[in-house]
Amino acid sequence: MGCQYFEPTDNGANSFTVAMPKLTFGRGSLAEVGERAKALGFKKVVLFTDAMLESGPIVEIVRQSLKQQSIEFSIFSDIRIEPDDDCVMEAASMLKDAGSDGIISVGGGSVIDTAKGALLVAQHGGHIRDYFAAPIGSGKPVPGPVLPHIACATTSGTGSECTSITVIRINELDTKFVVASPHLLATQAIVDPQCCDSLPGNVVASTGFDLLCHALECYTARAYTKHLEVKDPNARQLIQGSNPFSDLSAQKALEIAGEYLVRGVADNSDREARDNLMWGATLAGIAFGNSGTHLPHAMSYGITHLMKDITTDGYPVSSPFIPHGISVIVSAPAIFNYTADAAPERHLEGAAFLSADAKGATKDEAGEVLSKRLIELMRETHIPNGLSGVGFDQSHVKALAESSFRQQRAIANAPRDSILVDLENMYNGALSYW
Ligand SMILES: [Fe+2]
């Protein structure tokens, strides 16, 4: 492409692929799920959700919609926040026994990711660990399609309804890893903003920073032309680096986060802000589903791996627990300050999309301008003050860096190379900001 950031390189990719599910967005759209399932030929489905949603009004809408279309369904709801490999294997076993011709998932990232993992194992066998990249797993490629899947998002952050990845905690290693394959992309996604009407402000803050970081990491990711060309076009992953398509949705998602995040957190009844954040989360999901995240997500995994005795108000989860969006944003200002050197224009543009005052800023100031804007947004939405705000101090930095350094695929998608000591330096810079 004739854009400086996507300049051709020796042995680099010269094309990119775009994929996303058929998407329906809008208030009331969840009630269409039965008709959509019927049109896909579903007669019998497994409905994936979590225990809290199962007894609430959102899943009731889905139940009624399926009943109206005479679609038989069974429910799998034993899904915890941050699902693990045991949960996926249990879900896969249930799905295999159910003999369904499709699935519907209704929930946040934990539910949708469990559904994707269960579809994979139920269809192609083995253990979910087989599909993680070596040395964590066996690096087995996903060999082909899985059952059709209608993914219905109930939070304004994950974007998982639009991506080809699933994030699963491996109990034995006590950390999360990613399985990515275009075959894991849902057949259809339904995003109904009314699902978020009752979410408390602190949940919207966490999911909002997840969406913000998805978009900002995509926009600043290594260009697809700087990733090695994949000779077999069918083996090309959608995690392929930033590209002109992911730029479009990432830019809009950042503008939405800059305009509506503080409003959506401050006022549960601000429907304009909440609806826009849901749209922003969808756009950010489409962006990172076609480009991939980088260091803020990679370095969040060390944080959730090593968290101890930490609780977070507003979540029905026992300690230790840090919401995903918070585990990502607490290091982000320090990380973008580091990565800005490799792509200063992109970092300045990202800051401007987030409504920062970037006028007249030089390339040398790009990292500072962007991290300052992120810190402003964190303070305005009552996010913990960096790593110290979620229970870590300087003595934990080395272990955090060693844990996160295993996330090589995401680290390689950053615009700037980093070795172990660079991760330590970034974590040190993230200890506190104010
Ligand atoms: Fe995320």
Is 1 inside a domain boundary? no
Region 392-419: mean pLDDT is 95
Q: Are residues 209 and 176 in the same domain?
A: no
Q: Are residues 425 and 388 in the same domain?
A: yes
Is 21 inside a domain boundary? no
| CA–centroid distance, residue 218 to ligand 1 (Å) | 11
| CA–centroid distance, residue 103 to ligand 1 (Å) | 23
> And the tokens for 32?
């269409």
CB 292 within 8 A of CB 259: no
Buried b (16+ CB within 10 A) or exposed e, 180-190: bbbbbbbbbbb
CATH number at residue 49: 3.40.50.1970
Determine the Cα–Cα distance for residues 163 and 180; give it in Å rounded to an integer.
9
Q: Are residues 268 and 129 in the same domain?
A: no
Q: Are residues 141 and 213 in the same domain?
A: no
Tell me: pLDDT of 359 over 70.
Answer: yes
Region 104-129: mean pLDDT is 96
Q: Are residues 356 and 245 in the same domain?
A: yes
CB 156 within 8 A of CB 211: yes
Question: β-strand 72-76 against 175-180: which pairing, if any?
Answer: unpaired
Region 217-239: mean pLDDT is 90
| CA–centroid distance, residue 421 to ligand 1 (Å) | 24
CATH number at residue 383: 1.20.1090.10
Question: Residue 47: what are its φ and ψ, rounded to 5°?
Answer: -100, 115
pLDDT at 61: 98
Tell me: pLDDT of 81 over 90.
Answer: no
pLDDT at 135: 72
Which H/E stretch holds residue 178? Answer: strand 175-180
pLDDT at 316: 67
Give the pLDDT band of residue 339 (cuts 50, 70, 90). very high
Last residue of a domain, one of 191, 214, 230: 191
Is 421 inside a domain boundary? yes
| CA–centroid distance, residue 99 to ligand 1 (Å) | 32
pTM: 0.94
- Return the percentage of the chain with pLDDT > 90, whole number: 83
Instruction: Note the pLDDT tens digit of each residue in 34-53.
Output: 999 999 999 999 999 999 99
Q: Are residues 45 and 187 in the same domain?
A: yes
Is 239 inside a domain boundary? yes
Q: Are residues 362 and 273 in the same domain?
A: yes
Last residue of a domain, one of 172, 191, 210: 191
Is 11 inside a domain boundary? no
Give the pLDDT band of residue 93 (cuts 50, 70, 90). very high
Q: Are residues 184 and 269 in the same domain?
A: no
pLDDT at 2: 47
pLDDT at 309: 67
| CA–centroid distance, residue 149 to ligand 1 (Å) | 21
CB 225 within 8 A of CB 6: yes
Instruction: Note the pLDDT tens digit of each residue in 161-190.
Output: 999 999 998 888 877 888 989 999 999 999
The mean of the pLDDT values for the chain is 93
Report residue 2 CA to chain centroid gap: 30
Q: Are residues 178 and 110 in the same domain?
A: yes
Name residues whose C-beta falls within 8 Å of residue 126's C-beta, 6 or more positions apart in sequence. Answer: 140
CB 353 within 8 A of CB 211: no
Is 304 inside a domain boundary? yes
Q: Are residues 108 and 135 in the same domain?
A: yes
Tell me: pLDDT of 357 over 50.
Answer: yes
Q: Are residues 243 and 119 in the same domain?
A: no
Residues within 5 Å of ion ligand 1, judged at the Cβ atom: 210
Strand partners, 45: 73, 102
> And the tokens for 218?
């995509």
Q: Are residues 141 and 211 in the same domain?
A: no
pLDDT at 211: 96
| CA–centroid distance, residue 210 to ligand 1 (Å) | 5
| CA–centroid distance, residue 264 to ligand 1 (Å) | 19
Instruction: Note the pLDDT tens digit of each residue in 283-321.
Output: 999 999 999 999 999 999 999 989 876 766 667 676 678
Determine the Cα–Cα distance for residues 369 and 340; give it in Å rounded to an integer.
10
> And the tokens for 181?
């394959």
Instruction: Note the pLDDT tens digit of each residue in 367-378.
Output: 999 999 999 999
| CA–centroid distance, residue 161 to ligand 1 (Å) | 12
Number of structural domains in the chain: 2
Is 9 inside a domain boundary? no
Last residue of a domain, one of 191, 226, 261: 191
Determine the Cα–Cα distance for residues 294 and 213; give it in Å rounded to an integer.
9
Other beta carbons within 10 angstroms of residue 51's beta carbon come to 12
Region 66-81: mean pLDDT is 95
Is 16 inside a domain boundary? no
Range of the domain at 386: 201-429
Instruction: Note the pLDDT tens digit of each residue in 257-273.
Output: 999 999 999 999 999 99
Name residues whose C-beta falls within 8 Å of residue 103's C-beta, 6 or more positions apart in sequence. Answer: 45, 46, 47, 48, 95, 115, 118, 119, 147, 148, 149, 150
| CA–centroid distance, residue 360 to ligand 1 (Å) | 32
Q: Tell me the torsion sign for CA atoms 38, 40, 44, 45.
A: negative
CB 414 within 8 A of CB 330: no
- Return the percentage of the chain with pLDDT > 70, whole number: 97
